[in-house]
Chains A and B, each alone.
Chain A
Amino acid sequence: MVEKEKKSIRGAAYGIIIILLIALSLTFVLSAPTQTAGGLTDPSNLPVKGYMNITLWADAAGWDTNHGPVNPTLYIPLDYMVNFTVIEEDGLPHTLTINKGPKEDSATLTLLTTGQITQIIGHKSHASYEFFEPGVYTYWCTVHPTTMVGQVIVNSTASNSTANSSASLCNCVHSNNNEFNKISSLLPLQSLVEMAKANINNQVMTTMVL
């Protein structure tokens, strides 16, 4: 009798061991260290000072604002919640990825993936992000990293002003062709203006702050 019971328990034990090992290994593997967007993720309870909308058209030739200048530099005041709207323009896969500093760092945050930016022309996809640290960011598409790349400049003092959110996004990227092009943009009264001189590859050569 004792022998019989022992055998039954042994039989059930094999099944239980399998289930236990599955649970153990699954927990172990799923708890692997992962790097989540390298500090770009918004901390909770961030103060939101305002909202602004940015619409970008995704085209393999470059990001544009409805056939405007390609890869515009985005000026965003600090602590503003930015609602990005990306409109598919050419039916190719794109992503909207940002990073503090130059691109292709290990710490990047993909706001919109190829799955979200569907390859249906005219489809709009949305993502919001709050830039909580001032500095120069890069935004690009990981599928077309050489053509679809631009800069985001997050201004630390402009947020104190009575800035109109749409005014902060000035379309002041001027054409490289016309050297006599006048820069004109609507700026808040007291705001920090950062001028950047870029070469033809959109690499910033010098910057100055007025």
Chain B
Amino acid sequence: MSATILLLEVSIILSFVFVILFFMYYKYLTVKTEMDNIADENNYYDSSSYFREKRKGTGALSTSAFVLTDSKSIGLRYLMTSLVFFFIAGTFGVIMRVSLIEPTPTLFAHREVLYDILTTEHSILMIYMWAVGSAFGLAYYLLPTFLKVKNDRYGNISSWAYWIYLLGGVFILLSRTSTRWYYYPPLALQLNPYGAGAMNWLAVIGMEMIFIGIAIASITVIRMIIFDRGQDVPMTKMPLFAWGVLFTLIMFLASAPFMMAALVMLFYDFFNPIFFTGVNGSSPISFAELFWVWGHPIVYIAILPQFGLIYEIIPKFTGKKVFSYSSGVFALGLLMPLSELVWGHHLLNSGLGLAWGLFFTTASFAVTVPSAITVFNYIATMWSAEKIRLTVPMLFVINGIFDFIIGGITGVMQSMLVINEEVHGTYWVTGHFHFIFMGITTGIAFAAIYMIWPSLTSGRKYDQRLANWHFTLTAIGSFVMSIGWTVGGFLGMPRYVSGYFARFQVYQDIAIAGGVIIGIGQLFFLANLIKSLLEEPSTSPSNVLEDVYKLPSPGAVGGE
């Protein structure tokens, strides 16, 4: 094919694409104007809220959420995409586990880079698309009712932020990068067609887009919490979930610029390597430092909203108020500055020096204080109750607290300067954060999804048996998987590699068993979702979780 014909074909295809895009935009604009007019006639500030409230079924998992721009719809968008990415990245994780069935790569023999790609995609998509995405989804979905927001504003900006964020996630998936989620430069700057990432540049762009999306969304949510609260919800009586989200987003805005700047510098290094490649006194370590200034807060961003959610969920099952509201706010608030001070414990083996090492170790130890306050607050709330209803969301919460205690203790241990020498870069670290991410991030997100199930499915109940299986398999699987890693890692099993020394066979086998159990467990969730959506609506599409200011009467709890 000659160049002229190619050019001609490309331009014809492109013009068709643009014509179709313009037509779609024209249709959208027509409908939007019409909707705005109708909303205006009915004294509504924006059309999306009007249609959400007037039309039945728009609060549920449906495509209309992608067109409407009210907070609930945007929350639903985030929830739906985060679930999709959870299943995609989860499949990657299970495939990775299965590929480690023998010490020498079997599934990926002579193609070991596929393991690197899978581990990178799994980590990036799970953290940014599932943990952050589900947190944003729940925040957008729950906060308007939690805070009795009257003017649901800046929906268009939130919508744009969502699309930028989604496109970033798709770019990450399309880039098939293998740089790990920390983008360390010598590897992240590889542009060879094989192995270390054919399209690392796309991964960098995708990550930057995710950041831009989250940053815009953060600002709108902070604005909603601070300025758009209802008149009768003072700051001091805000639900703890709102506090958790507020602290999280402030933490994000305080630490993300480091990584955003570092990514821009990294992208510049593709063309003119001056920042991180070692020329003229530059150093790859400086990227690592910039990354971890952001990289430590992100792991708190993944748990702080869920901490707040636990405070909202437990009273629904005990019928008692939270034991201590003020200490709850204090602990969540204290985690915010502390998380910014401990990033160096990820680099204790990178030659920061003894003084810095001791500083970061001590700061990491200080994090136990707010964490312990939070956990004891949960326990005291449950302790003071006469009776706890143990249905699936509450089981997820209890399992989350249990897993968080193990994960927290292993985390504090590994940030100790001495023990870090032993466990740095081993599966101990993987076990530590999977305890927390599976228990808190994933477990609480699922607990909240089960609690708002009737709203999500416009008035359907979830199947109790399937939900119980989902919980049981997730809890057992995540414990088995993480404990295998923790023990094996303490004995020196290196992580992030496609094979392992044969003497670690037993720990890998335990982790494989756990991983496969988790994978099967999530299928029960999917089955539950499809099953209940195929049924007839059998209950009211409201849910207990959103009604924060009223404690339930016994027997009317949960979304069942």
CA of A12 to CA of B528, assembled, Å: 11
30 pairs, CB–CB < 8 Å, chain A vs chain B? A7-B458, A11-B61, A14-B529, A14-B533, A15-B533, A18-B83, A18-B84, A18-B526, A22-B88, A22-B91, A26-B88, A28-B174, A29-B117, A29-B176, A30-B114, A32-B113, A33-B194, A33-B198, A34-B113, A34-B194, A35-B194, A37-B110, A113-B103, A113-B499, A114-B501, A115-B102, A115-B501, A116-B103, A118-B503, A120-B503
Report the tally of A-B residue pairs with Cβ distances under 8 A.
107
The answer on a CB contact under 8 Å between B104 and A115 is: yes
From A4, A14, A116, residue with most partner B Cβ within 10 Å = A14
From B57, B62, B533, residue with most partner A Cβ within 10 Å = B533
> Residues of B within 8 Å of A, CB-based: how many?
45
Within 8 A of B (CB), among A16-52: 17-19, 21-22, 25-26, 28-30, 32-37, 41
Residues of chain B having any CB pair with chain A under 8 Å: 57, 61-63, 80, 83-84, 87-88, 91-92, 95, 102-105, 110-111, 113-114, 117-118, 121, 173-174, 176, 192-195, 198, 457-458, 499-503, 526, 529-530, 532-534, 536
Nearest A residue (CB) for B528: A15
The answer on a CB contact under 8 Å between B499 and A115 is: yes
Nearest B residue (CB) for A23: B91
**Dominant secondary structure of chain A at its interface with chain B:** helix
Q: Does A10 contact B (CB under 8 A)?
A: yes
CA of A159 to CA of B488, assembled, Å: 49
Please indicate the chain A residues that have their CB under 8 angstroms from the CB of B121 in the complex. 29
The answer on a CB contact under 8 Å between A8 and B501 is: no
The answer on a CB contact under 8 Å between A93 and B501 is: yes
Please indicate the chain B residues that have their CB under 8 angstroms from the CB of A17 in the complex. 84
Q: Does A119 contact B (CB under 8 A)?
A: yes
Nearest B residue (CB) for A32: B176
The answer on a CB contact under 8 Å between B529 and A115 is: no
Indicate whether A115 sits within 8 Å of B173 (C-beta atoms), given known contacts A8-B533, A18-B526, A30-B114: no
From A26, A32, A118, A120, residue with most partner B Cβ within 10 Å = A32
Please indicate the chain A residues that have their CB under 8 angstroms from the CB of B105 in the complex. 113
> Residues of A within 8 Å of B, CB-based: how many?
34
The answer on a CB contact under 8 Å between A8 and B502 is: no
CA of A29 to CA of B95, assembled, Å: 12
Please indicate the chain B residues that have their CB under 8 angstroms from the CB of A14 in the complex. 61, 80, 529-530, 533
Indicate whether A116 sits within 8 Å of B104 (C-beta atoms), given known contacts A25-B88, A29-B121: yes
CA of A119 to CA of B113, assembled, Å: 24
Please indicate the chain A residues that have their CB under 8 angstroms from the CB of B110 in the complex. 34, 36-37, 41
**12 new A-B contacts at CB < 8 Å, known A34-B110, A34-B194, A113-B103:** A11-B61, A12-B533, A14-B530, A15-B529, A18-B83, A18-B84, A22-B88, A29-B117, A29-B121, A32-B114, A114-B103, A115-B104
Please indicate the chain B residues that have their CB under 8 angstroms from the CB of A8 in the complex. 533-534
Please indicate the chain A residues that have their CB under 8 angstroms from the CB of B536 in the complex. 4
Indicate whether A119 sits within 8 Å of B530 (C-beta atoms), given known contacts A29-B117, A29-B118, A32-B114: no
The answer on a CB contact under 8 Å between A11 and B195 is: no
CA of A119 to CA of B504, assembled, Å: 11
Nearest A residue (CB) for B505: A115
CA of A113 to CA of B500, assembled, Å: 9
CB distance from A65 to the nearest CB of B (A): 24
The answer on a CB contact under 8 Å between A34 and B92 is: no
The answer on a CB contact under 8 Å between A11 and B534 is: yes
CA of A80 to CA of B361, assembled, Å: 58
Nearest A residue (CB) for B107: A30
Please indicate the chain B residues that have their CB under 8 angstroms from the CB of A25 in the complex. 88, 91, 173
CB distance from A12 to the nearest CB of B (A): 6
CA of A113 to CA of B498, assembled, Å: 11
Find B84's partner among A21, A36, A41, A106 (CB 8 Å cutoff).
Answer: A21
The answer on a CB contact under 8 Å between A22 and B87 is: yes
CA of A26 to CA of B107, assembled, Å: 14
Q: Which 3 A-B pairs have the closest CB atoms?
A: A11-B533, A115-B103, A15-B530
CA of A35 to CA of B198, assembled, Å: 11
Within 8 A of B (CB), among A145-196: none
The answer on a CB contact under 8 Å between B62 and A10 is: yes
